[in-house]
Amino acid sequence: MLAPWRTHLSAALHRNRSLVYAQYFQLATVRQDGTPANRTVVFRGFQQNSDRIQIVTDNRSAKIEEIESSSHAEACWYFPKTREQFRLRGTLILVNCESSDLELQAARQQVWANLSENARSGFAWPSPGRERSPLESFQVSPPDAKTPLDTFCLLLLEPHVVDFLQLRGEPQNRWIYTCQSNGDWIGRDVNP
170 belongs to the binding site for its own copies (CB under 8 A): yes
128 belongs to the binding site for its own copies (CB under 8 A): yes
Binding residues among 129-158 for its own copies as defined by CB under 8 A = 129-132, 136, 138
43 belongs to the binding site for its own copies (CB under 8 A): no
17 belongs to the binding site for its own copies (CB under 8 A): no
Q: Which of 85, 96, 151, 166 binds its own copies (CB under 8 A)?
A: 85
Q: Which is nearer to its own copies, 36 or 45 (CB)?
A: 36
How far, in Å, are 40, 142, 143, 163 from residue 126 at the CA level? 20, 14, 14, 38
DSSP codes of every residue in 143-162:
PPSSS--TTEEEEEEEEEEE
Q: Which is nearer to its own copies, 88 or 111 (CB)?
A: 88
Q: Which is nearer to its own copies, 7 or 127 (CB)?
A: 127
82 belongs to the binding site for its own copies (CB under 8 A): no
Q: Which is nearer to its own copies, 138 or 150 (CB)?
A: 138
Please state, in angstroms and rounded to a whole number, the distance separating the CA atoms of residues 54 and 108.
9
Q: Which is nearer to its own copies, 109 or 126 (CB)?
A: 126
Cis status of the peptide bond prior to 143, with omega within 30 of 0? no
Q: Which is nearer to its own copies, 6 or 176 (CB)?
A: 176
Instruction: Please report how many Cα atoms fall inside a 13 Å half-sphere around the Cα of residue 75, on the Cβ side.
Output: 29
Q: 130 — alpha (psi -120 to 50), left (phi > 0) or beta?
A: beta
3-state secondary structure (DSSP) of residue 76? strand
Contact 150, 97 (CB under 8 A): yes
How far, in Å, are 10, 45, 117, 154, 192 from residue 92 at the CA level? 21, 15, 26, 10, 27
Report, in Å, the least distance between residue 75 CB and its own copies.
7
116 belongs to the binding site for its own copies (CB under 8 A): no
* Residue ranges binding its own copies (CB under 8 A): 19, 21, 24, 26-30, 34-40, 70, 72-76, 78, 80, 85, 87, 89, 125-132, 136, 138, 170-171, 174, 176, 188-192
